[in-house]
Every structure is written in C-alpha cells, then in structure tokens.
C-alpha cells in the first residue's frame, strides 16, 4: 500500500468500495463528519466536478490547503494526521446531509420528501461546498413544493432563513422574502400566520427593512428590464434605418424620395410606443417603492400588520 503524507487528502479506493468506478479513478476524499466523526467518502473526481470549493482547494500546494478550507468552511475544520481525512465539526455539517449530498452526486436525485430542517442543512452544505447545480435543484425543489401545496413559509422558517440569508448567494432568502411580501401585500387571510409573523418581526428588528430592500431591488430590476428592452428597440430601429438608407443609394432618385417620405411616418409611432413603455415601467417602479415603504412602516409600528 502506498504511504500517505501527513496531510494527504486522498484515500486510495479498493475494488469493493460501494462507489468504485473505473471512469472516476481510484482516488477518494475521506470526510469525518460531526462530533462522532462518522466517515463518508467520495471520488475526488466526482467531488471536484460539482464543487467549486474543492476543485480550487485541490489545486493548491499542500501547505495552503488547510488554511484555505478553514477560511471557507470554518476554523473547526481540520485534517486527520493519520488518514488525511477532512474533519467537519461545525453544527451545519451532519452525517445525514453528507450522505444525501453524496447520493445526489452519484444518482442525481433528491429525496422525495424532506423536512424543513433537512432541506436547510443540505442547502447550507451545498452553499459551503459551492455546489451551484445542487443549489439550483434545491431551489426548484422548494418552489415546486410550495406550488403544489399552495403554502408560504411559516414565520419561524422565515426567521431561520433570514438569519442565514447569505447562504447560496442569497437565493433562498430572496425567494422567501418575495413569498412573504406577496402574502402581506395581497392581504392573505391567515390570522394565526400574521400573529406569529408579528412576533418574529419584533424579535428580528432588521427583518422589516430587509424585506423592503428585496422589494426595492425587484422594482429596480423591473425598470432595468423595461429600459433595456426600450434601448434594444431603438438600437434595432436605428440599424434598420441605416441599412435601408444604404440600399437606397442604389435605387433611382425618384424611388428613394418616395421611400424617405414614407419612413418618418412609420418610425414615429414606434418612438411614441417606446416612450409609453418607459413611462409605464417607471410608474411600476414607483408603485413598488410605495408598497415597500408601506410594508416597512407597518412592520415596525406597534400592532404590526393588520
């Protein structure tokens, strides 16, 4: 058997390993997860394929590997002196979630049903490992779940997501915030939900302003989208006009005059439509900001949301 160095992360696979695959090579990365240090292993090639974090980590000199992992995964990460395994002892790292993640790596499937805590832990684990494809699939999972059930997040779930809102680039928090804003803005009749949400807002004083920021950002994106479409339309119109003018040089002068007379009449309605669209987009942004102000004001006042 090959001799491993003090900080060697690679565990040479055996023929009977459950994930043995010739196409993936024989090198495995070994993890010790949680306080009990339960073992979990995965092909190094498979892990690097889906994890930007580990792909970058394994390109580093061995002396820089541990500081890199501690910077991204927390100070409690360490390397086993004898096996080279990566120890993950932070509360976010659970054996159950690591096994689900490894199952997804090899089978490309998620459990049919997940409890909210299991979903969040797997989401945070994928976020820490920079697994963008898994994060995307988890977002699709939760959206489909809400679409099928017709439910929004419970107040305690909103609080939990808000406290960890930076995970996954903020995708889960943004989706949760928009769901919450929709429930509030459109006056969904759920008195018990509203009462619990009031208490959550009193405990999390930054929650109201954070919801305002999400709604404000949404309003800005609407404006940019509308403004961008208008710019593209004007650019396309200018190119078409220039092209036509170039073609007119080869046409008889009498015909060119006729075409030039027709062109301004056709272009005028287009410019008026563009202006109307821009005004409509700006008005929607203004309405979004007014809504956001109203929601933020009601969130921080005594009595909360009526």
What the block records as the tokens of 90 is: 């932070």
The runs of H, that is alpha helices, within the chain are 44-50, 52-57, 62-73, 95-107, 116-128, 132-149, 155-163, 171-185, 191-203, 207-248, 253-300
Kindly state whether residues 144 and 160 are assigned to the same domain: no
Kindly state whether residues 145 and 165 are assigned to the same domain: no
Kindly state whether residues 218 and 179 are assigned to the same domain: yes
218 or 302: which leads in pLDDT: 218
Kindly state whether residues 282 and 179 are assigned to the same domain: yes
User: Is pLDDT of 109 > 70?
Assistant: yes
At residue 3 the predicted structure's pLDDT band, cuts being 50, 70 and 90, is very low
Kindly state whether residues 3 and 60 are assigned to the same domain: yes
pLDDT value of residue 273: 47
Kindly state whether residues 1 and 143 are assigned to the same domain: yes
pLDDT value of residue 306: 35
CATH number at residue 146: 3.30.710.10
282 or 7: which leads in pLDDT: 282
pLDDT value of residue 220: 65
Phi-psi sector, 299: left (phi>0), alpha (psi -120 to 50), beta = alpha
At residue 187 the predicted structure's pLDDT band, cuts being 50, 70 and 90, is low
For 3-18, what is the mean pLDDT? 37
Whether the model clears a pTM of 0.85, i.e. scores above it, the answer is no
At residue 100 the predicted structure's pLDDT band, cuts being 50, 70 and 90, is very high
Q: CA-CA distances (angstroms) from residue 153 to 68, 147, 167, 212, 253?
A: 35, 12, 17, 18, 69
Q: What is the Cα–Cα distance from 80 to 65, expressed in whole angstroms?
A: 13
User: Is pLDDT of 130 > 70?
Assistant: yes
What the block records as the tokens of 21 is: 């695959």
Kindly state whether residues 142 and 189 are assigned to the same domain: no
At residue 128 the predicted structure's pLDDT band, cuts being 50, 70 and 90, is very high
Kindly state whether residues 61 and 4 are assigned to the same domain: yes
pLDDT value of residue 285: 46
305 or 60: which leads in pLDDT: 60
pLDDT value of residue 286: 47
Q: Range with the lowest mean pLDDT among 23-37, 109-123, 187-201? A: 187-201
Nearby residues of 236 by Cβ (< 8 Å), 6 or more positions away: none
| Number of domain units in the chain | 2
The domain in which residue 240 lies consists of: 155-306
User: Is pLDDT of 288 > 70?
Assistant: no
Q: What is the Cα–Cα distance from 293 to 194, expressed in whole angstroms?
A: 19
Kindly state whether residues 122 and 212 are assigned to the same domain: no
Reported as a single tens digit per residue, the pLDDT across 154-165 is 989 999 999 999
Kindly state whether residues 223 and 191 are assigned to the same domain: yes
At residue 247 the predicted structure's pLDDT band, cuts being 50, 70 and 90, is low
């Amino acid at each position: 058997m090959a001799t491993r160095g003090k900080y060697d992360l690679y565990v040479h696979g055996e023929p009977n390993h459950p994930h043995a695959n010739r196409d993936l090579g024989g090198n495995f990365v070994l993890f010790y997860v949680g306080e009990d240090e339960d073992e979990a292993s995965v092909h190094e090639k498979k892990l690097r394929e889906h994890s930007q974090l580990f792909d970058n980590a394994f390109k580093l000199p061995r002396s820089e590997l541990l500081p890199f992992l501690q910077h991204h995964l927390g100070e409690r990460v360490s390397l086993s002196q004898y096996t080279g395994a990566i120890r993950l002892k932070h509360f976010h790292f659970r054996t159950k979630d690591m096994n689900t993640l490894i199952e997804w790596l090899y089978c490309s499937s998620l459990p049919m049903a997940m409890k909210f805590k299991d979903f969040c832990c797997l989401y945070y684990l994928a976020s820490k490992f920079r697994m963008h494809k898994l994060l995307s699939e988890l977002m699709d999972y939760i959206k489909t779940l809400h679409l099928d059930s017709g439910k929004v997040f419970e107040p305690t779930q909103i609080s939990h997501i808000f406290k960890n809102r930076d995970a996954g680039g903020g995708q889960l928090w943004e989706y949760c915030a928009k769901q919450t804003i929709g429930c509030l803005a459109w006056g969904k009749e759920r008195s018990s939900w509203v009462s619990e949400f009031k208490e959550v807002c009193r405990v999390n004083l930054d929650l109201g302003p954070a919801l305002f920021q999400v709604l404000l950002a949404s309003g800005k994106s609407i404006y940019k989208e509308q403004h961008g479409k208008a710019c593209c339309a004007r650019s396309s119109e200018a190119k078409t006009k220039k092209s036509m003018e170039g073609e007119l040089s080869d046409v008889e002068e009498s015909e060119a005059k006729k075409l030039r007379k027709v062109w301004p009449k056709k272009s005028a309605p287009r410019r008026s439509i563009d202006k109307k669209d821009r005004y409509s987009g700006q008005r929607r942004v203004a309405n979004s900001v007014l809504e956001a102000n109203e929601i933020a004001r009601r969130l921080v006042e005594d009595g909360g949301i009526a």
